[in-house]
């Protein structure tokens, strides 16, 4: 069974810290929603931890649909080799819409099982905070012994 298939009661403190980090980043970047979303296996397209602002124009069901579609698009473009010979990785993927809306998938540089999906205008601020989130995800794995 995959590490991400479910959380245990002992994981709650770390999950709460992840939630607080997402809420903090959302406040600083004026994001409408943000989630840590799976990239493979049973968790592909599913949010593991998610935060939606009170002013978000999408309901929870719509946000879950956005997570799934953004991960689907990200996985299709992730491995395209635009410059043969260069081993470059995708830094982030963004779809820009009218009125400054930007749907983004931001992969972790040191993880290939999850990414952040968000609706924001400030990707760089999120990227600066991703190490904290990655450390908490690593702590969850270590606590579980996976």
pLDDT given at position 73: 92
pLDDT given at position 34: 95
pLDDT given at position 1: 34
Domains and CATH numbers, the chain: 9-144 (3.30.450.30)
- Residue 47 in tokens: 């949010």
pLDDT given at position 72: 93
Q: For the CA atoms of 59, 99, 77, 86, what is the dihedral angle to 10 degrees?
A: -140
Distance between alpha carbon 144 and the CA centroid of its chain, in Å? 21
Per-residue pLDDT of the chain (146 residues; tens, 9 = 90+): 344 556 777 888 888 888 899 999 998 988 999 999 999 988 899 998 899 999 888 999 999 999 999 999 999 887 766 655 666 667 888 988 877 778 999 998 888 899 999 998 888 888 888 888 999 988 888 876 65
d(CA 44, CA 30) in angstroms, rounded, equals: 26
Q: Which residue has the tokens 């996976």?
A: 146
Q: What is the pTM of this model?
A: 0.84
pLDDT given at position 11: 81
pLDDT given at position 38: 92
The DSSP call for residue 83 is: S
For residue 75, which phi and psi values (nearest 5 degrees)? -65, -30
């Amino acid at each position: 069974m995959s590490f991400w298939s479910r959380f245990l009661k002992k994981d709650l403190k770390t999950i709460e810290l992840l939630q607080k980090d997402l809420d903090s980043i959302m406040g600083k970047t004026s994001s409408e929603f943000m989630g840590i979303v799976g990239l493979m296996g049973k968790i592909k397209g599913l949010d593991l931890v998610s935060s939606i602002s009170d002013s978000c124009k999408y309901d929870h069901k719509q946000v879950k649909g956005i997570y799934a579609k953004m991960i689907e698009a990200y996985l299709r473009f992730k491995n395209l080799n635009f410059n043969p010979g260069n081993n470059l990785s995708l830094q982030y993927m963004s779809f820009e819409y009218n009125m400054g809306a930007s749907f983004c998938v931001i992969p972790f540089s040191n993880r290939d099982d999850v990414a952040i999906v968000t609706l924001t205008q400030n990707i760089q601020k999120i990227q600066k905070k991703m190490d904290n989130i990655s450390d908490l995800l690593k702590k969850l794995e270590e606590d579980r012994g996976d």
